[in-house]
Amino acid sequence: MTERGSGALERDASNLVIGPSSVRWEDGALTIDIHEGDTRLFVPWQRPVIGKVRVLPEVLNRAAFALDAQENHIWHCLAPRARIEVEMTSPGLRWSGKGYLDHNRGAEPLETGFDVWHWSRAHLKEGALVCYEGERGDGSLFASALRFDRHGVPEPVDLPPIAHLEPSKWRIARRTRSDIGVAEVRRTWEDTPFYARSELASRFAGEEVVAVQESLDMRRFSSPIVQFMLPYRMPRRKR
């Protein structure tokens, strides 16, 4: 979470280097080498954050999806199901578990294309389910639910009913989808003035699941006070 100048960037077909950290495909896994500092608010020094993360896809999906009619914003769920291995040397932590890998790319800033979005994903007994919805910058709405089978092939399915969630501590409006229109926030992992990521107890495709959910408010992100605060949360370096 450090902003860096173009001189800190290197990339080719298999590698991405940003400053002292890097991402690369190696032995079928996405390997992330982290060498950064933490981002505590109002603290003038940074503790080192050093370690390695490996994301091992269980299935891969080749299809990408446009989030707007002009195709200015593309979402690609590369690995709807994956395993993750984390080994940090500073702080000394290691664990493994279930994972997921996607990315967004676009021809314009996110705050131009979107006002709000809500996203959630859950492992199923076979495959995974991803729900994605929101409001674009022009006021139009979008919503979809994709079920990925055990081979990673996506299929659109009917959207489950809306399940409203309690707002985050920063009063970000959150919602998800659930078979019965009810879901429970178990933990909130990331809570900022414009973004929240949470763990939910929910129900998809007739299964009781643990889901990951995020809500993003780009109107909040664009506000002058949040833009003023960002450099304190995301340090900026030339290299």
pLDDT tens profile 154-191: 999 999 999 999 999 999 999 999 999 999 999 999 99
pLDDT value of residue 22: 96
Q: How many domains does the chain have?
A: 1
As a whole number of angstroms, the distance between CA 104 and CA 78 comes to 11
Most confident of 5-19, 29-43, 71-85: 71-85
Please report the pLDDT score of residue 216 as a whole number: 97
Distance between CA atoms of residues 55 and 99, nearest Å: 7
- CA dist., res. 101 & res. 59, Å (int): 10
Instruction: Report whether 176 contacts 131 (CB < 8 A).
Output: yes
Q: Is the pLDDT of residue 70 over 60?
A: yes
88-132 pLDDT, tens digit each = 999 999 999 999 999 999 999 999 999 999 999 999 999 999 999
CA atoms of 96 and 105, how far apart (whole Å)? 28
pLDDT at 40: 63
Average pLDDT, the chain: 93
Strand 73-90 relative to strand 92-106: parallel, antiparallel, unpaired? Answer: antiparallel
Q: Strand 48-57 relative to strand 73-90: parallel, antiparallel, unpaired?
A: antiparallel
- Mean pLDDT, residues 213-235: 91
- Structural domain including 138 reads 3-237
- pLDDT reported for residue 233: 77
For residue 175, give every residue at least 6 positions away whose Cβ sits within 8 Å of its Cβ, in sequence order, or none. Answer: 118, 162, 163, 164, 165, 215
- The predicted model gives 220-224 an average pLDDT of 96
Q: Is residue 94 within 8 Å of residue 86, measured between CB atoms?
A: yes
- Checking if the pLDDT of 214 tops 80, the result is yes
Could you tell me which of 201, 208, 158, 156 has the C-alpha nearest to residue 176?
A: 201
Percent of the chain with pLDDT over 70: 97
Contact 172, 215 (CB under 8 A): yes
- pLDDT bracket for residue 42 (50, 70, 90): low
